[in-house]
Amino acid sequence: MNEQASLNAIALAVALLSFSVLLGPYFHLPASVPAAITLGVLGLAAVDIFGFKGLGNRLFLDAFAQLSPAHRQRVIHHEAGHFLAAQLLDVTVAGYTLTAWEAFRQGHLGQGGVRVETPDFGETITASELERYCTIWMAGGVAESLVYQNVEGGADDLKTLRTVLRQLEVQDAILKERLAGRRAQNLLQNHWEAYEALVTAMEKRMPVQDCCRLITQQVQPTV
């Protein structure tokens, strides 16, 4: 959840509180009560956005989202796509979280997700390395598409991918993005049993090392 989402949440809160002004007389509320609530909400939101980069809003909205089992499952399937792609492409997975609260407890300010070791995307990165990371960034949304036939997450992944391609002044960036999506799709479809096993492991919050070991066992050919 970015700062724009925080601002949208504030706008919604102000709209709801405006209704309280209209309905206040029916409940015999003094006119000062809705105004005080509005000022309080706006003050807290401003502190959150400018002092904590919207962390409070992310935790608040994510807590409500986590009440939905369908949402929780979609997040796990999305992040498992990232995890599997990273592991199969020999990119180190540093950790993963599946909620904003889990990320906060681990000292990260984001919504959660799979964290991989990333290089300095400068002039030294090779074309093959860039392809690997583009594939990993696309793998979450691709996993969602394969499981649910649509994609709800992944906006931040696409933003990261497009920012890096733009910074590197990559030619045919749109084509690079599409090719990364196809590579991610082939990777997931060719290792679907490993993907499903990883989803189950991440549901149980198994440690990264155990998840990596599970993937290795799944992709090794049986004798």
pLDDT at 3: 45
Kindly report the pTM of this predicted structure.
Answer: 0.73
Over 80-142, what HEC string results? Answer: HHHHHHHHHCCCCEEEEECCHHHHHHCCCCCCCEEEECCCCCCCCCCHHHHHHHHHHHHHHHH
Give 117-171 pLDDT, tens digit per residue.
Answer: 988 887 678 889 999 999 999 999 999 999 999 998 888 899 999 999 999 999 8
Give 51-64 pLDDT, tens digit per residue.
Answer: 445 555 555 555 55
CATH code 1.20.58.760 region(s) in the chain: 69-219
CATH number for the segment(s) 69-219: 1.20.58.760
pLDDT at 4: 46
Q: Mean pLDDT: which of 3-17, 20-34, 81-95, 118-132 is highest?
A: 81-95
Give 64-88 pLDDT, tens digit per residue.
Answer: 555 678 888 999 999 999 999 999 9
pLDDT band at 43 (very low <50, low <70, confident <90, very high): low
State phi, psi for 93 to the nearest 5 degrees. Answer: -90, 115
pLDDT at 119: 84
pLDDT at 68: 76
Largest CA distance in the chain: 78
